[in-house]
Amino acid sequence: MMSKSLRRVSLAALLTAAVVFGGCGGSNELIRPKQADIDAYLQANPDLPATDQSCIADGRFEIGMLASTVRFLMGEPKTVEHVKQPWAQQEHWRYPRGKVRLFVIEDKHVVGIDEFDAKKKK
């Protein structure tokens, strides 16, 4: 049986590979709030980085965007897991909507994005 620390290191390596090879969210499903909601969010957050503004406009996700932008686009995560990595404390936000989206958050920024099929329970 794999130790807890080895599993975390393995997960970190997997997430790092997803970041390196995945880049953006990789999903064909775009998330697009109502234009009035977008306008209100942008007005309430005038200092939003250009990356976040672009992601909101396009309904996509990108490494480096703020966690608050993910929350605006996706709502509250279904689950939040706190993970202590050797280099940082992370939060793993899961959104099961068809496919499961996993956002890895460090210091209020997205550092990893993964998407996978949830196991079907019968």
Pick the closest to residue 107 from 72, 66, 76 (CA basis).
Answer: 66
Handedness of CA 109, 77, 120, 28 (dihedral sign): negative
Q: How many CB atoms neighbour CB 122 within 10 A? A: 3
**Which pTM was predicted?**
0.71
Average pLDDT over residues 42-50: 96
How is residue 39 written in tokens? 């306008």
How is residue 40 written in tokens? 């209100």
Q: Give the confidence band of 84 by pLDDT, cuts at 50, 70, 90.
A: very high
Mean pLDDT taken over the chain = 80
pLDDT 10s digits, 15-39: 444 443 344 444 445 678 899 999 9
Domains of the chain: 4-117 (3.30.1450.10)
